[in-house]
């Protein structure tokens, strides 16, 4: 499905670390943070051990704690909602905009107003199973997720968050290199979080980074990732509940190498996405990824198409696999994950737009080193898979996208 792009220069940087005496808390993390902050044009970057760890700390840093509500998207990788659960907070799901696949800003505005109003208005946003204390609390935070590299509607979301006293944390883990109205994704909220798992636009192996404009928040985040130590440099002095969410030096070195090549990595991915777009243009039953007007740049993370309604997606996945082409239904909605169904009582139908999109999306193999021939091979296999599965299903619903 994906492949990291590691160059000899990246390897040399990791080697440099291995031949030094600091494998953790050394100069590479500092260099990586400084260059990341400069790239985003934001004063502070705090490197952490994963994107998930970054989301967790970002929520703590805006004061999210037990019993709070965090408004977020059900159409995401599970980590975004889980981060709220780590603090005993409740992820309050709002359905997505079918064009961007990200949080619908009008839904966010209504949810924030209703949560503030409390009582019955608030209750309609909450899951069936919940501790009593959760009714009537205004949202502490809103966490838009820039799914597949397409930034959420940050201007209206930030405006409603402001109106209702909620802090904005951006899950920008899939949006490395993306821009919303000319500004980098991740730079709008109180904090923005990026992830560097090997399938992302660039990698550190495991790793992530949190960006923020506020110095006090950056200092708090550095303490939280480092066992709650303060700035006094006294090793065994812990002033708050902290975590070991540090990024090690080898990972930071790889990240530094990748960051220095990021424009080239992004350009390669854009080339492959364009090849897919072009090759898929004639295919009736497949809608290539769209781009909303506010998205001035997409940092391509995955290449996710929509299959025409009525297509037997499982049959398509099976036929592709038989041709040696991996593909993945992406994302299964968070609220329908077994853990969320059991704990919160969610059911099918709770977030209809998310579910409708999730039923028809399919991620195709995608990384920056794919050749035009490989793209062609995948699309040819997809054409065959669609024609076999179309024979088996009724043509009635195929007009709907
Ligand atoms: C990748 C990703 C994360 C972070 O994942 P890690 O594996 O913890 O780095 C968080 N949210 C979304 C939407 C992601 O795609």
Residues in the chain, overall count:
401
Atom of ligand 1 nearest to the CA of 76: 13
Query: Are 246 and 103 in a shared domain?
Result: yes
The sign of the torsion formed by the CA atoms of 63, 68, 71, 77 equals positive
Cα 8 to ligand 1 centre (Å): 26
- Phi/psi for 214 (5° steps) reads -95, 125
**Helix residue ranges per DSSP H, 133-260:** 154-163, 215-225, 249-260
Q: Whose CA is nearest to atom 6 of ligand 1?
A: 51
With a 6 Å cutoff on the Cβ, whether 144 touches ligand 1 is: no
Tell me if 98 sits within 8 A of 140, measured CB to CB. no
- Phi/psi for 224 (5° steps) reads -60, -40
Q: How many domains does the chain have?
A: 2
With a 6 Å cutoff on the Cβ, whether 73 touches ligand 1 is: no
Q: Is the pLDDT of residue 148 over 50?
A: yes
Residue 288 lies in a domain: yes
Parallel/antiparallel/unpaired status of strands 69-72 and 191-195: unpaired
Query: Are 104 and 216 in a shared domain?
Result: yes
Measure the CA–CA gap between 297 and 187, rounded to whole angstroms.
Answer: 14
Query: Are 249 and 295 in a shared domain?
Result: no
For the segment 333-352, what is each residue's pLDDT rounded down to a tens digit?
999 999 999 999 999 999 99
The pLDDT of residue 388 is: 85
Residue 3 lies in a domain: no
Q: How many CB atoms lie within 10 A of CB 89?
A: 22
Query: Are 273 and 221 in a shared domain?
Result: no
Query: Are 293 and 251 in a shared domain?
Result: no
Atom of ligand 1 nearest to the CA of 53: 8
Coil/strand/helix, residue 126? coil
Tell me if 172 sits within 8 A of 194, measured CB to CB. yes
Q: Which domain holds residue 319?
A: 263-398
The residue to mutate among 86, 197, 299, 334, having the most atoms of ligand 1 within 8 angstroms of its beta carbon, is 197
Measure the CA–CA gap between 100 and 51, rounded to whole angstroms.
Answer: 22
Residue 314 lies in a domain: yes
Tell me if 233 sits within 8 A of 11, measured CB to CB. no
Measure the CA–CA gap between 142 and 391, rounded to whole angstroms.
Answer: 45
Q: What is the CATH number of the domain that holds 220?
A: 3.40.640.10
Query: Are 157 and 167 in a shared domain?
Result: yes
Tell me if 198 sits within 8 A of 2, measured CB to CB. yes
Model's pTM, two decimal places? 0.96
- Rg (C-alpha) for the chain, rounded Å, is 22
Q: Whose CA is nearest to atom 2 of ligand 1?
A: 173
Measure the CA–CA gap between 209 and 32, rounded to whole angstroms.
Answer: 10
Final residue belonging to a domain, choices 262, 288, 305: 262
Query: Are 97 and 156 in a shared domain?
Result: yes
Q: Is the pLDDT of residue 368 over 50?
A: yes
Query: Are 345 and 249 in a shared domain?
Result: no
With a 6 Å cutoff on the Cβ, whether 354 touches ligand 1 is: no
Query: Are 146 and 12 in a shared domain?
Result: yes
Q: What is the CATH number of the domain that holds 343?
A: 3.90.1150.10
Coil/strand/helix, residue 345? coil
Tell me if 298 sits within 8 A of 149, measured CB to CB. yes
Final residue belonging to a domain, choices 231, 262, 293: 262
With a 6 Å cutoff on the Cβ, whether 174 touches ligand 1 is: yes
Task: Grade residue 400 by pLDDT with cuts at 50, 70 and 90.
Answer: very low
Q: Whose CA is nearest to atom 14 of ligand 1?
A: 173
Residue 363 lies in a domain: yes
Q: What is the mean pLDDT of residues 259-273?
A: 98
Q: How far is CA 296 from CA 23, 93, 150, 292, 299, in A?
A: 39, 27, 9, 9, 10
With a 6 Å cutoff on the Cβ, whether 186 touches ligand 1 is: no
With a 6 Å cutoff on the Cβ, whether 80 touches ligand 1 is: yes
Query: Are 253 and 318 in a shared domain?
Result: no
Q: Is the pLDDT of residue 133 over 80?
A: no
Measure the CA–CA gap between 303 and 366, rounded to whole angstroms.
Answer: 6
With a 6 Å cutoff on the Cβ, whether 150 touches ligand 1 is: no
Query: Are 258 and 275 in a shared domain?
Result: no
User: Of 136, 157, 130, 135, nearest to 146 (Cα)?
Assistant: 157
The pLDDT of residue 132 is: 67
Cα 206 to ligand 1 centre (Å): 10
Tell me if 170 sits within 8 A of 193, measured CB to CB. yes
**Strands across the sheet containing 286-287:** 286-287, 303-307, 361-364
Cα 173 to ligand 1 centre (Å): 5
DSSP string, 266-330: HHHHHHHHHHHHHHHTT-TTEE-----TTEEE-----EEEEEPTT--HHHHHHHHHHTT---B--
Residue 2 tokens read as 């994906």
The residue to mutate among 56, 75, 195, having the most atoms of ligand 1 within 8 angstroms of its beta carbon, is 195
Residue 366 lies in a domain: yes
For the segment 21-42, what is each residue's pLDDT rounded down to a tens digit?
999 999 999 999 999 999 999 9
Cα 127 to ligand 1 centre (Å): 24
Cα 373 to ligand 1 centre (Å): 30
Final residue belonging to a domain, choices 262, 280, 312: 262
Residue 2 lies in a domain: no
Atom of ligand 1 nearest to the CA of 195: 9
With a 6 Å cutoff on the Cβ, whether 170 touches ligand 1 is: no
User: Of 147, 141, 148, 152, nearest to 181 (Cα)?
Assistant: 152
Residue 150 tokens read as 């397409």
For the segment 54-74, what is each residue's pLDDT rounded down to a tens digit?
999 999 999 999 999 999 999
With a 6 Å cutoff on the Cβ, whether 355 touches ligand 1 is: no
Task: Grade residue 395 by pLDDT with cuts at 50, 70 and 90.
Answer: very low
Measure the CA–CA gap between 3 and 201, rounded to whole angstroms.
Answer: 10
SS3 content of the chain, % helix, strand, coil (to 5): 45, 15, 40
Task: Grade residue 96 by pLDDT with cuts at 50, 70 and 90.
Answer: very high
Structure-model confidence comparison of residues 268 and 234, the more confident one: 268
Q: Is the pLDDT of residue 232 over 90?
A: no
- The CA-to-CA distance between both ends of the chain, in Å, stands at 24
Query: Are 223 and 244 in a shared domain?
Result: yes
């Amino acid at each position: 499905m994906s492949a990291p792009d590691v160059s000899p220069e990246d390897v040399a940087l990791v080697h440099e670390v291995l031949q030094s005496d600091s494998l953790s808390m050394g100069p590479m993390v500092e260099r990586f943070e400084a260059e990341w902050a400069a790239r985003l044009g934001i004063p502070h970057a705090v490197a952490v051990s994963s994107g998930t760890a970054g989301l967790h700390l970002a929520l703590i840093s805006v004061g999210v704690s037990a019993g709070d509500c965090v408004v977020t998207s059900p159409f995401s990788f599970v980590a975004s909602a889980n981060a709220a659960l780590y603090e005993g907070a409740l992820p309050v799901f709002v359905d997505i905009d079918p064009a961007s696949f990200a949080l619908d800003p009008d839904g966010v505005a209504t949810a924030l107003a209703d949560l503030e109003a409390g009582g019955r208005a608030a209750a309609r946003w909450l899951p069936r199973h919940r501790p009593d204390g959760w009714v009537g609390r205004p949202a502490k935070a809103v966490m838009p997720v820039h799914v597949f590299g397409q930034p959420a509607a940050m201007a209206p979301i930030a405006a409603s968050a402001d109106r209702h006293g909620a802090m904005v944390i951006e899950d920008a883990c899939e949006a490395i290199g993306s821009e919303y109205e000319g500004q980098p994704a991740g730079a709008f909220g109180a904090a923005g979080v990026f992830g560097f798992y090997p399938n992302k636009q660039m990698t550190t192996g495991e790793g992530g980074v949190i960006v923020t404009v506020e110095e006090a928040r950056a200092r708090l985040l550095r303490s939280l990732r480092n066992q709650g130590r303060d700035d006094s440099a006294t090793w065994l002095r812990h002033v708050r509940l902290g975590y070991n969410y540090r990024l090690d030096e080898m990972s930071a070195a790889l990240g530094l190498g990748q960051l220095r090549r990021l424009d080239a990595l992004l350009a390669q991915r854009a080339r492959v996405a364009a090849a897919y777009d072009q090759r898929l243009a004639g295919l009736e039953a497949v809608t290539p990824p769209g781009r909303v007007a506010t998205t001035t740049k997409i940092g391509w993370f995955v290449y996710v198409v929509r299959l025409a309604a009525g297509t037997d997606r499982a049959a398509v996945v099976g036929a592709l696999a038989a041709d040696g082409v991996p593909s993945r239904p992406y994302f299964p909605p968070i609220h329908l994950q077994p853990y969320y169904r059991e704990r919160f009582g969610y059911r099918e139908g709770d977030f209809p737009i998310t579910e409708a999109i999730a039923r028809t999306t399919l991620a195709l193999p995608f990384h920056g080193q794919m050749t035009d021939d490989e793209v062609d091979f995948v699309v040819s296999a997809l054409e065959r898979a669609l024609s076999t599965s179309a024979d088996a299903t009724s043509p009635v619903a195929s007009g709907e996208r």
